[in-house]
Amino acid sequence: MGCCNTLPVPPPLSSDKLQVQPTPQRSSKRGRLPTNKLMTITERYEILRALGSGTIGTLFHAKNLETCEIRTIREVNKSASYHSVEVFQEVKILKELDHQNIIKVYEAIETSRSYYIVLENIYGGSLADRFKKNNVEGVISKYIHDMFLGLAYLHSQGIVHCNLSQDYVVLSDTSETPVLKIIGFALAQRLSEKKTIDQKYLKYPWASPEMLRGEYSEKSDVWSAGIVLYSLLTQRQPFPKGSRSMVIDAISSASVDFYNSAFTGLSLDAQDLIKSMLKRDPDDRPTCEKILQHPWFGNSKRMLPITYNITKKLLGFKITSKVAKRIMVFIVEQLALVRKDYAILGYFRSLDLNEDGKASKDEVLNVFNQVGLNVTQDIDFIMENIDTKGTGKVRYLDLVLGLTNWSQEFKKKNLEKYFKAEGGFVDADWLKKEISGVEEKEWDEFLVKIPMDEGKIHIEGLKKILRLNISNLT
Considering the domain architecture, whether residues 98 and 138 belong to the same structural domain is answered as no
pLDDT in tens, 14-50: 434 433 343 333 333 344 556 788 889 999 999 999 9
Considering the domain architecture, whether residues 137 and 265 belong to the same structural domain is answered as yes
Residue 4 lies in a domain: no
Considering the domain architecture, whether residues 285 and 356 belong to the same structural domain is answered as no
Q: In the beta sheet, which residues pair with residue 46?
A: 63
- Pairing of the two strands 105-110 and 36-37: parallel
Considering the domain architecture, whether residues 89 and 194 belong to the same structural domain is answered as no
pTM: 0.62
Q: Which of 411, 408, 429, 404 is closest to 419 using CA atoms?
A: 429
Residue 39 lies in a domain: yes
Number of H helices, E strands in the chain: 22, 13
Considering the domain architecture, whether residues 337 and 387 belong to the same structural domain is answered as yes
Considering the domain architecture, whether residues 112 and 156 belong to the same structural domain is answered as no
Report the run of H or E that residue 75 belongs to, with start and end. strand 70-77
Distance CA 216, CA 169 (A): 20
Distance CA 162, CA 221 (A): 6
Rounded to 10 deg, the angle between the 308-316 and 396-403 helix axes is: 90
Residue 279 lies in a domain: yes
Assess contact for 70 and 10: CB atoms under 8 A: yes
| Beta carbons within 10 angstroms of residue 5's beta carbon | 6
With a cut of 70, list the residues of the chain below it in pLDDT. Answer: 1-34, 54-56, 80-87, 134, 299-308, 342, 353, 369-373, 472-474
**CATH code: domain of residue 355:** 1.10.238.10
259 CB burial (10 A radius; 0-12, 13-18, 19+): exposed
- Whether the CA torsion 231, 235, 240, 246 is positive or negative: it is positive
Amino acid 207: pLDDT: 97
Question: DSSP of 199-248, one letter per residue?
Answer: GGGS-GGG--HHHHTT---HHHHHHHHHHHHHHHHHSS-SS-S--HHHHH
Look at the chain and report how many structural domains it folds into. Answer: 3
Residue 63 lies in a domain: yes
Considering the domain architecture, whether residues 250 and 323 belong to the same structural domain is answered as no
Considering the domain architecture, whether residues 276 and 336 belong to the same structural domain is answered as no
Rounded to 10 deg, the angle between the 322-338 and 440-447 helix axes is: 90
Domain that residue 347 falls in: 308-469
Distance CA 212, CA 204 (A): 8
Considering the domain architecture, whether residues 219 and 147 belong to the same structural domain is answered as yes
Distance CA 373, CA 312 (A): 8
> Which of 103, 120, 137 corresponds to the end of one domain?
120
Residues 6+ apart with CB under 8 A from 474: 313, 405, 406, 407
Distance CA 306, CA 410 (A): 25
Considering the domain architecture, whether residues 325 and 456 belong to the same structural domain is answered as yes
Rounded to 10 deg, the angle between the 218-234 and 137-156 helix axes is: 170
What would you report as the CA-atom Rg of the chain, rounded to the nearest whole angstrom? Answer: 25
Considering the domain architecture, whether residues 338 and 420 belong to the same structural domain is answered as yes
> Which of 120, 148, 169 corresponds to the end of one domain?
120
Considering the domain architecture, whether residues 354 and 450 belong to the same structural domain is answered as yes
Residue 1 lies in a domain: no
Residue 332 lies in a domain: yes
3-class state of residue 18 by DSSP? helix
Which 8-state DSSP code applies to residue 176?
S
Residue 367 lies in a domain: yes
Residue 194 lies in a domain: yes
> Which of 120, 151, 178 corresponds to the end of one domain?
120
Assess contact for 159 and 150: CB atoms under 8 A: no
**CATH code: domain of residue 77:** 3.30.200.20
- Pairing of the two strands 70-77 and 114-120: antiparallel
Contacts 24+ apart (CB under 8 A), 302-308: 302/349, 302/350, 302/353, 303/142, 303/350, 304/350, 304/367, 304/370, 304/371, 305/177, 305/343, 305/346, 305/347, 305/350, 306/347, 306/350, 306/351, 306/367, 306/370, 306/371, 307/371, 308/371, 308/372, 308/373
Question: DSSP of 382-405, one letter per residue?
Answer: HHHHH-TTSSS-B-HHHHHHHHS-
